[in-house]
Amino acid sequence: MYILQRIVMKILVCISKTPDTTAKITFNANNTKFNEEGVAFIINPSDEWYALVRALELKESLGGSVELISVGREDYDPVIRKALALGADGALRINSDTPDSYFVAAQIAHFASQGNYDLILTGKETIDYNGSGLGGMVAAMLDVPYVSLATKLDLSPAENQASFRREIEGGEEVGKVALPAVVSCMKGMAEQRIPNMRGIMAARTRPLRVEEPVEAPVLTEAVRFELPPPREGMTKVDPENMEELVRLLHEEAKVI
């Protein structure tokens, strides 16, 4: 007698909260902290558009579950609820500040190791601190393979592996990786989705668990922030006279 075993994939998606892409960036009086006043927050675009949406697509075609993990304070909850509204099954928030990426990765690695996930997805980088290293750190801490900057991802549950396309310097690679693995996701992987009313209603009752952080070292410290100096006025060039633009670029800017 055959026993048909259904292989159920468990996917964990790391979600970060970032200022809206149109937010004006300012800092507090002594330039040590981002000024959140009046700023709208969103799910970090590559976490949402690529990692989360691709996870949901994989779940829709293969079954299984998609869970979210975030490191942040209570002010993360609206953003996590939005991610749940897109279709994730549940979320875990580790109730902590985010002093540096190593600390955050250590939290995620600790809680992910308790969940037997087949796949852990991150966005390629956050649009605020632009660390781009969370996925790699989590992979190293869990001692599982890391696929960086993937633009395509498919799962073969029967072979317990994933196939991917990723960006490398000067080209692209197509390959396969054994599960479990950590994959950072970028453009090309999936298209942005808009949550519908049913999803928004359902998200209210989906579990959002909160855990206290585990002890982990902090390796770096943001000392101060600074805004770039504004550009000095623009020189207008007559559209009929492109020789003049070439002259300015050569003699004044010295870039050609």
Partner 1 sequence: MSVLIFADQHEGIFRKSAFEAVHYGAKLAEALGTDAIALAAGTIEDAKLQALGQFGAKKVLHASEEFLDHFDASLYGKLVVLAGEAVAADVIVFSHNFNGKAIAPLVSASLKAGWAAGAIALPDLGDGFVIRRGVFSGKAFCDVKILTDKKIISLNPNSFAVETTDRMAEVVSFAGKVAAGDARVNVVSTEKLSGTVPLPEADIIVSGGRGLKGPENWGMIEELAEALGAATACSRPVADSGWRPHHEHVGQTGIAVRPNLYIAVGISGAIQHLAGVNGSKYIVVINKDPEAPFFKAADYGVVGDAFEVVPRLSKAVRAFKENTH
Site string for partner 1, 199-228 (x = CB under 8 A): ------------------xxxxxxxxxxxx
Smaller CB distance to partner 1: residue 19 or 91?
19
Amino acid at 227: L
Of 5-13, 64-72, 200-208, 233-241, which segment contacts partner 1 by CB under 8 A? 233-241
Tell me the two tokens of residue 157.
């549950």
Specify the residue for token string 């585990």: 214
- Tell which positions 15-34 bind partner 1, by CB under 8 A: 19, 21-22, 25, 27
Please give the DSSP secondary-structure letter assigned to residue 86: T
Tell me how far apart the alpha carbons of residues 8 and 111 are, in angstroms, rounded to a whole number: 20
Cis peptide before 180 (omega within 30 of 0): yes
Q: How would you classify the pairing of strands 161-168 and 171-178?
A: antiparallel
Tell me the two tokens of residue 88.
């994730």
| Of 176, 198, 204, 209, the one binding partner 1 by CB under 8 A | 176
Q: How would you classify the pairing of strands 161-168 and 181-185?
A: unpaired
Indicate whether 187 belongs to the interface with partner 1 (CB under 8 A).
yes
Indicate whether 173 belongs to the interface with partner 1 (CB under 8 A).
yes
| Of 28, 75, 172, 198, the one binding partner 1 by CB under 8 A | 172
| Of 10, 95, 129, 211, the one binding partner 1 by CB under 8 A | 129
CB of 105 to partner 1, least distance (A): 7
Nearest to 199 by CA among 77, 85, 91, 90: 85
- Tell which positions 99-118 bind partner 1, by CB under 8 A: 100-102, 105
State in Å, rounded, how far the first CA of the chain is from the last one: 76
CB of 42 to partner 1, least distance (A): 11
- Tell which positions 47-66 bind partner 1, by CB under 8 A: 49
